[in-house]
Amino acid sequence: MNAKAPLGPKHLPPLKIAVEKADVERGQTLYADHCASCHNDNGQGLKENPPVWGEQSYNDGAGLSGNGKLAAWLNVAMPLGDPILTEQEALDIAAFVNSKPRPKFVLQDHLPRTERLGEYNSE
């Protein structure tokens, strides 16, 4: 657990820098330096480390598909166990990662089946 973000990316404060200042090319270099050893050069993950782009990664409707949200998470949590990225570095990496292909969010795939509409449970 990360003491700076114990509740995950939904509970992170926004970045202090403008998201528009992201640099995808710089992010590519930073990804190679700080991320590829765990998430692979091709973003497909390694061992227990998840893919960050491609068909097995988060979809384009996920919170992390927004550069600001992903950068805020990277800033306090990555590299795992030793978060050293500045806000600008995290933003650049986020822009690079989110420039890659990922699954499309299809709302219909996430709705309950017709027979379960209106039912609330923990399943």
Nearest CA among 61, 48, 46, 59 for reference residue 102: 59
Retrieve residue 65's tokens.
Answer: 């598909």
Range of the domain at 35: 9-104
Give the pLDDT score at 6.
58
Question: CA 35, CA 14: separation in Å to the nearest integer?
Answer: 22
59: in domain: yes
111: in domain: no
53: in domain: yes
94: in domain: yes
Domain count within the chain: 1
Retrieve residue 42's tokens.
Answer: 């091709």
Dihedral sign (CA 104, 105, 106, 112):
positive
Tens of pLDDT along the chain (123 residues)? Answer: 556 655 555 577 889 999 999 999 999 999 999 999 999 999 999 989 999 999 999 999 998 999 999 999 999 999 988 999 999 999 999 999 999 999 999 998 878 888 877 777 665
30: in domain: yes
Measured in degrees and rounded to the nearest 5, phi and psi for residue 81 equal 85, -10
Identity (one letter) of the amino acid at 11? Answer: H
110: in domain: no
Give the pLDDT score at 17.
94
Give the CATH number, domain containing residue 67: 1.10.760.10
